[in-house]
Amino acid sequence: MSTDEPIQAGELSELEAKLTRCIAGIAMHFQPIVHASTRARFGYEALLRSSDKGLPHPGAILDAAERLERVPSLGRAVRANSAKVIAAAPPERGVCFINLHLLDLFDKQLTSPFAPLSKVASRVILEITERTSLEGQLDLRYRVAELRELGFRIAIDDLGGGHARMGTFTPLDTDFVKLDMSLVRDVDKHPMKQRLIKSVTDLCRQQHIGIIGEGVETEAEARVLVDLGCDLLQGYLIAKPGPPFIDQL
């Protein structure tokens, strides 16, 4: 169902019930992220999951939250659940990337030093993902500065996926960038993709920004990404997402 389509009162009530159940029973799965050259664990990305068949995947959950204007409630549940896992995990598990919707950046709880996630900020990388345009959001960089003062690091998601995120944030705002899956897929077969990724990795290396190749599915893709200067890899080749923590230390 498109988020642009009108929604009837009965559908609205049903969707509200589904989302409420989803938030109450929220679960996070964790996908390993590894150093590109050694495959040693660097950390994980926390990924939203739901057992509610009415909202069977993260896209459906986020669509519902946007329609019902409950993105902040969903974001708080995600962060609280993730914080609990991170706090209980040994340091050897590394850092955890947690996705932020644009609206999450304006939730006052996000920058509260008393919020559950703030207490483990040194082990968290906040991954800014863009489902709506970042253009015109003049306060974003100030919010990001507040988060960095709390000890969080920042990642920009889906670089090369058609959005101008690096036009919104400068290298001073950003610690990591993730290459969009569309660039990574079959990169070993596409010289144009390779040239683009090489230009990005060269620029980021000059600015001391880490590069993550996301959605890696084959050894051939991984080898090319390593050769092009990617620092970290994530994808089904490394491991599928799972409950914390099914991969061994």
State residue 138's pLDDT score: 55
H-helix or E-strand containing 98?
strand 95-100
Burial (CB count <10 Å: 0-12, 13-18, 19+), residue 242: middle
Spatial contact of 236 and 201, defined as CB atoms under 8 Å apart: no
141-165 burial, b for 16+ CB within 10 Å, e for fewer? Answer: eebbeebbebebbbbbbbbbbebeb
Looking at CATH, the fold of the domain delimited by 25-234 is given as: TIM Barrel (3.20.20)
Spatial contact of 237 and 214, defined as CB atoms under 8 Å apart: no
Give residue 81's region: left, alpha or beta (phi > 0; psi -120 to 50). alpha
State residue 53's pLDDT score: 80
State residue 10's pLDDT score: 73
State residue 135's pLDDT score: 54
Mean pLDDT for back-to-back runs of 10 residues, the chain (249 residues)? 58 90 91 96 94 85 92 95 96 96 89 95 90 57 90 85 52 84 95 94 92 96 97 96 88
State residue 137's pLDDT score: 55
| 87 residue type, one letter | A
Kindly give the interhelix angle for 71-88 and 58-67, rounded to the nearest 10 degrees.
Answer: 140
State residue 162's pLDDT score: 47
CA distances (Å), 40 to each of 33, 104, 108, 138, 238, in order?
9, 31, 36, 38, 10
| 205 residue type, one letter | R
Q: Which residues contact 214 (CB under 8 A, 6 or more apart)?
A: 158, 178, 179, 180, 181, 184, 234, 235
Residue 213 phi/psi, 5-degree rounding, is -90, 115
State residue 160's pLDDT score: 58
Spatial contact of 45 and 236, defined as CB atoms under 8 Å apart: no
* Helix, strand, or coil (residue 223): helix
